Structures are given as C-alpha cells and as structure tokens.
Amino acid sequence: MSHCKRLAITAGEPAGIGPDLIIQLVQKSHPDELIAICDPEMLCARALQLDMPIVIEKFNPEDPPSPTVARTIKVLPVQLSRTVIAGQLDTKNANYVLETLTIAANGCLSGQFDAMVTAPVHKGIINDAGIPFSGHTEFLETLTGSQQVVMMLATEGLKVALVTTHIPLNQVATAITQPLLRTIIEVLRHDLIHTFGISSPRIIVSGLNPHAGEGGHMGREEIDTIEPVLNELRNKGYELQGPLPADTLFTPKYLNHCDAVLAMYHDQGLPVLKYKGFGNAVNITLGMPIIRTSVDHGTALDLAGTGKADIGSLTLAIHYAAEMARNKSKSIHES
C-alpha cells in the first residue's frame, strides 16, 4: 500500500480560476502526486500572466507515484479547442471541460488515479454549447454507473450530507421517500466507515418541518417517513439520532457527539456549514466507486488571472481526497 497517493486534478472552466489555483497550489511541495488534467499551454500562459514560476512535466503513468516538488506540476495533456482569455467564457471549450472530467473519472475507475479533485466548472456555458449538464455530481454519477450518490460538504468540525440537493423547495417533501432516505443513510454510513475511517459513525438526522413536525401538528413527514426508516436502521446497529429540529441541532450539545449531520434539503444544512467554513470547505461526492472531492466555490471569472484567488478550499479538497484514498486502501487491505 503506497503512502503517496496519485491525485488527478481537473482544472475546470479554463477561463475561470481553476488554472490559477493549480499554479498557486504547486508553488509549494506536496506529499502526494498531483496530476493536472488540462491544456499545458494554457497553464503556461496563465503562469506567465500570474508571474509565478512553474515547470510542467508530462505525466507518465508507468512511473511510480512520487511527492509533488515545489513549482513543478505533472500534466496529462488535453488540448483546448480555442485559446483562452482569462475571464472570458467560450462555448467552443465546453467539450474540453467534459473531456478532462471523463479522463479523470475513467483513470480513477481503472486504478490509474487514487482520487480526483475538481476545480469549478461553469454549468451555464456548457449548456449554452448545447450539452445538457446539471453539474459535476450528476455527470460523474452517470459516468461511473452509480446507483445513488450523496452530496456532502465538510469543514473543520462539521460534515453535512443532504437527502435532496438541487430541486425546488416545493418538491422536497414529495421527493423524500422511505426508500430514498434508507439508501442515503446506508451510503453515508458506508463511506464514513470505509473512506473516513470512522468505525461506528454517529449520524444526526434533521426533521423536515419546523420543530421536526411537533408531533404531527406541523406536518407528518417525520412520523410517516423519517422515523420509521431511522427505527429500522437502528435495529440493524446504526447510530442515528433524530429527527431533530434543524434550528437547534447545529449546537455543541449535539455536534460534539456526532460524526455527520444529514439534512433533508440543500438550504437547510448548507447555510450553517458555509457560514462556519466558506472558503475552507470541501464538496465530497459519496456513493461512487471512486473518490471525488471539489472546491466549495464557483469559477470567479473576475479573479481569473489576477493572482487573488484563495487556494484554501482546493488545498482542503486535496487533503480530504488523499486521506480518503488512504483510508479506502486500508479498508480494502483489512477486509
């Protein structure tokens, strides 16, 4: 089991801050091998614009993984369709963005990479190019043939997973069914064990309604859907607390005794996490046969090429990806 992990980093939207973040990141050495999947000429041009020294080496998959040397980056080359100007989107490069994701994911599936880390993409410009695309998560779910993925964001001292993600609020209650909730909790617990190394994960589950329904007076979803699933899984040995009111569960009384929170919908759980750790949080996709982490921010076109982009989230995403890869290797080795 190699201690040094090989991580694929997709540079995301080439007109955004993804290339900047990679260049800024490798100004220092890293204990794991970072492989940028992007156009090397674009990376060179952006490094010149940022006035940051960088040496680009072509990635050779036959070489054993080795730590990243400061101001050096290995690149698996993918050619842009059109030369990029920082801050200016171009539909001609939409396919390039998706190709980098496909190469990274397939490399993880084949074992060439231990994990993939994604810089931000611009959904709008991909759709403007005539390609249906709702996001990294859905794209990778299809590509890897996963049955049910779970979106989780993590920052220091808090992990929040979601039952539903990017759907209108008026569709949430209908979307939360017993089979979906059961599967989400099973995926969350499995990955907390096998990729986070938590032997007996303690999960807090929020209610859907204010005051967790207040005994049915403010909605019956807790009684009809959530509680039956939690009781069923508790009988299988799952450590689950809830359903708890979302307005009080994010307090030390509960968080000091749990490993993750499961929120029912996007804006129930993520405002708290982003208040606590925006810029130092990481987006993690659970439920896939590969490890994928991502930054918690967008393409920031206005910052591209300025050198003012903050590498905090990408640094954390790389740290999580490497640690998850090590825990996964250990779990496979011990099983």
Binding residues for a divalent metal cation: 166, 211, 266
| Binding-site residues for substrate | 136-137, 274, 283, 292
Query: CA separation (Å) from 118 to 54, 158, 241?
Result: 20, 21, 33
State the binding site.
136-137, 166, 211, 266, 274, 283, 292
Which residues 6+ apart lie within 8 Å of 44 measured at CB? 54, 56
Element (H, E) at 6: strand 6-10
- Asked if residues 296 and 314 have their Cβ atoms less than 8 Å apart, the reply is no
Quick one: which of 280, 272, 283 has its CA closest to 310? 280
Q: Residue 218 is encoded by which pair of tokens?
A: 């403010």
Given a contact cutoff of 8 angstroms between Cβ atoms, the answer to whether 241 and 203 are in contact is: yes
- Rounded-to-integer distance, Cα 320 and Cα 324, Å: 6
- DSSP for 97-164 reads HHHHHHHHHHHHHHTS-SEEEE----HHHHHHTT-----HHHHHHHHTT-S--EEEEEETTEEEEESS
